[in-house]
Amino acid sequence: MAYDKKYGKYCDHTVLRAYTTQEMVADFCDEAIKYDAASVCVNPTHVPFVHERLKGTSIATCCVIGFPLGANKPETKAFETSQAVRDGADELDMVINVGALRDGNIVFVLEDIKGVVKAAEGRPVKVIIETCYLTDDEKRIASRLCEEAGAAYVKTSTGFGTRGATVEDLILIRETVSSHMKIKASTDINTREDADRLIAAGAVRLGVSRTPQIVEDDTTLITATVRNKAPKG
Residues carrying an active site annotation: 93, 155, 184
End-to-end Cα separation, the chain, in angstroms: 36
Residue 67: which region, alpha, beta or left (left: phi > 0; alpha: psi -120 to 50)? beta
Q: Are the C-beta atoms of residues 189 and 22 closer than 8 Å to each other?
A: no
Q: Are the C-beta atoms of residues 213 and 219 closer than 8 Å to each other?
A: yes
Q: How far is CA 196 from CA 7, 156, 185, 192, 210, in A?
A: 9, 16, 11, 6, 14
Phi and psi at 153, nearest 5°, equal: -135, 150
Give the closest residue to 113 by CA, choosing from 140, 150, 156: 150
**SS3 call for 97:** coil
